Amino acid sequence: MTDLAKYRLELATERVEVAATMIADGRFRISVTNSYYAMFNAVRALLAEIPTDFKKHSAVVSYFRREYVKTGLFEVKYSDYIGKAFTARQYSDYGDFVVVSREEAEEQYQHAVEFVAAIAAYLEALDENR
């Protein structure tokens, strides 16, 4: 795994940890944002292996869906996870008077944990096969 991929995967892991801490602190809106960024940074870790990158978040998500989900490398649920997380992050970061429930924050957190673990496992398998 490239140094950049490792770095981005570490960022993803840190974001998952922050999301958990924010849930424990009752800061659900901030937890949702961190869950999204955990997934986003994990996808960017994949991109570092190609290597390629994009300036827009939507382009990163679209590329992941096209090149990794549609091809069967990742289950469709991961496309759903990052799509919902992207929408929730947009709403929580840019909406006024936004209230995020504990349930929503916990769901996003669980998805982020699973998503980051799946990408980490994929990258580790790539290393083993090189």
Confidence band of 99 (pLDDT split at 50, 70, 90): very high
In whole angstroms, how far apart are CA 84 and each of 63, 87, 95, 126? 16, 5, 16, 27
Is pLDDT of 15 > 90? yes
22-59 pLDDT tens trace: 999 999 999 999 999 999 999 999 999 999 999 999 99
Name the H helices within 25-101.
28-48, 57-64, 76-94
Task: Specify the pTM.
Answer: 0.95
56-91 pLDDT tens trace: 999 999 999 999 999 999 999 999 999 999 999 999
Q: What is the model's pLDDT at position 78? A: 98
Is pLDDT of 130 > 80? no
Tokens 């069967």 locate to 72
Instruction: Identify the H or E element spanning 21.
Output: helix 3-24
